[in-house]
């Protein structure tokens, strides 16, 4: 697999000739409905191991080796009929691309709202280890309130994907600090919550619990840890797994209600896997920026692997970007946008896609009825860069928030890099 950056004058036919693969394959792999849906800076997945290159003035095999980052001996071996010391302008050279290394196993989780379409489910399920319907909510007495999860459980089982019971401290539509505090302070409520979970698991056929507790009061840190260990023990006694979700932290004593009670070391001991929610640097009310800047994610992982066994960590992957109105005014809201919709917007407005190397994220500008906008999103190149952190830090895999939007190139990359654990 190779990721190609569209240049001025490119069209699908030219890219097809360059790599020697059918245009229809390029369109399908990149979810392009029309052959002219290209803009400068767009990144295309090319499922090929080589490309044709026409020699230009001054180029040598050595300069090509450096330009395309291919070892010189591999470049020479790929062109046995080419005299390397007698290249001429217009000669065609075969450039080997792509990787031949063995795929590593990876655990892939996908959160999904019950409203997910059949198309989005079908798009993602072949590449998932776990499907996590979102979500069970709780009351201050420790009772649980189920989502409409039956369809998702049925579809997961049919696709050889293990469904997980997502439990959150959502109450009346938002994460509730107070509701969780009341449960943690009341032994009867804690026992009721754990018993209710254990009772629900076999009824629905869940394989375990995906626990997403957020905005936990800092004063509840230790009582929450105690609850985690108790829940973990009870689940493991009954052959269920526990996955927890934590906010992205740079250090143990990071202040703020999102961070203080997410004890990485304790959760790494109690849980089978820990999802680090490495997204939302750019968010609804932030200034325009990357949702998942790789430079910040790397800092989080550098800390996380000192507290949590790396093979228990699932890298949080966002499946959305944001569209900001410019000039940005503090307090104004950006609109969430899917990656396919973002690319469609770029094509519709003939916007050049730019790429921020520091965050490894694409973005572009466009005008709508005289109003300027900027969209930060993810594409094949940025997704590939971020998923490679799994190998760099020897992580267990990734967790997507959410799979409700289908973006085919993402799953092409997952399939290219990993052997998904089933």
Enumerate the active-site residues: 214
Question: Can you read off the two tokens belonging to residue 407?
Answer: 């973006």
Give the count of beta carbons closer than 10 Å to the beta carbon of residue 300: 20
From residue 345, alpha-carbon distances to 110, 312, 342, 362 in Å are: 26, 38, 5, 13
Strand partners, 110: 131, 400
Question: Can you read off the two tokens belonging to residue 319?
Answer: 């499946």
Place of tokens 């005014």: 329
DSSP-H helix ranges across 208-326: 221-237, 264-270, 294-307
Of the candidates 293, 389, 307, 373, the residue with the CA atom closest to the CA atom of residue 334: 373
Residue 61 DSSP one-character state:
H
Of the candidates 414, 417, 346, 336, the residue with the CA atom closest to the CA atom of residue 32: 346
Taken as a whole, the chain contains a residue count of: 422
Q: For residues 304 and 249, is the Cβ–Cβ distance under 8 A?
A: yes
Distance CA 338, CA 242 (A): 30
DSSP-H helix ranges across 349-407: 380-387, 389-392
- Taking phi first (over 0 means left), then psi (-120 to 50 degrees means alpha), and beta for anything else, what does residue 215 get? left
Distance CA 44, CA 5 (A): 6
Question: Can you read off the two tokens belonging to residue 50?
Answer: 């080589």
Cis check: omega of the bond before 402, within 30 degrees of 0: yes
Distance CA 44, CA 38 (A): 9
């Amino acid at each position: 697999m190779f990721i190609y950056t569209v240049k001025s004058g490119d069209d699908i036919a030219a890219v097809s000739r360059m790599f020697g693969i059918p245009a229809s394959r390029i369109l399908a792999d990149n979810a392009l409905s029309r052959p002219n849906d290209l803009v400068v800076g767009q990144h295309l997945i090319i499922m090929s191991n080589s490309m044709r290159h026409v020699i230009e003035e001054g180029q040598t095999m050595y300069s090509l080796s450096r330009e395309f980052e291919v070892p010189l001996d591999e470049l020479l071996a790929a062109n046995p009929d080419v005299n390397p010391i007698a290249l001429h302008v217009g000669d065609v050279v075969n450039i080997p691309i792509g990787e031949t290394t063995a795929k590593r196993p990876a655990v892939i989780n996908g959160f999904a709202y019950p409203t997910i379409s059949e198309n989005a489910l079908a798009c993602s399920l072949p590449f998932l280890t776990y499907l996590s319907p979102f979500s069970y909510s709780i009351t201050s007495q420790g009772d649980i309130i189920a989502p409409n999860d039956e369809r998702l459980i049925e579809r997961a089982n049919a696709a050889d994907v293990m469904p997980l019971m997502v439990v959150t401290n959502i109450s009346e539509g938002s994460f509730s600090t107070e509701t969780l505090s009341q449960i943690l302070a009341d032994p009867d409520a804690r026992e009721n919550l754990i018993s209710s979970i254990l009772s629900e698991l076999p009824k629905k056929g869940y394989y375990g619990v995906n626990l997403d507790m957020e905005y936990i009061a800092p004063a509840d840190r230790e009582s929450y840890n105690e609850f985690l260990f108790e829940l973990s023990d009870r689940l493991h006694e009954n052959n269920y797994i526990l996955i927890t979700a934590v906010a992205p932290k740079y250090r143990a004593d990071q202040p703020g209600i999102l961070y203080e009670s997410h004890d990485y070391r304790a959760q790494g001991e109690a849980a089978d896997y820990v999802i680090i929610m490495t997204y939302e640097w750019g968010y609804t009310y932030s200034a325009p920026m990357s949702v998942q800047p790789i430079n910040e994610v790397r800092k989080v992982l550098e800390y996380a692997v000192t507290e949590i066994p790396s093979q228990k960590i699932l890298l949080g992957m966002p499946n959305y970007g944001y569209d900001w109105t410019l000039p940005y005014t503090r307090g104004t809201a950006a609109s969430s946008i899917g990656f396919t919709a973002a690319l469609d917007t770029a094509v519709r407005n003939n916007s050049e896609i730019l790429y921020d190397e520091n965050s490894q994220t694409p973005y572009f500008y466009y005008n709508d009825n005289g109003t300027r906008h900027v969209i930060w999103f993810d594409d094949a190149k940025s997704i590939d860069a971020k998923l490679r952190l799994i190998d760099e830090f020897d992580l267990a895999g990734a967790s997507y928030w959410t799979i409700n939007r289908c973006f085919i190139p993402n799953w092409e990359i997952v399939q290219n890099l990993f052997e998904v654990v089933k």
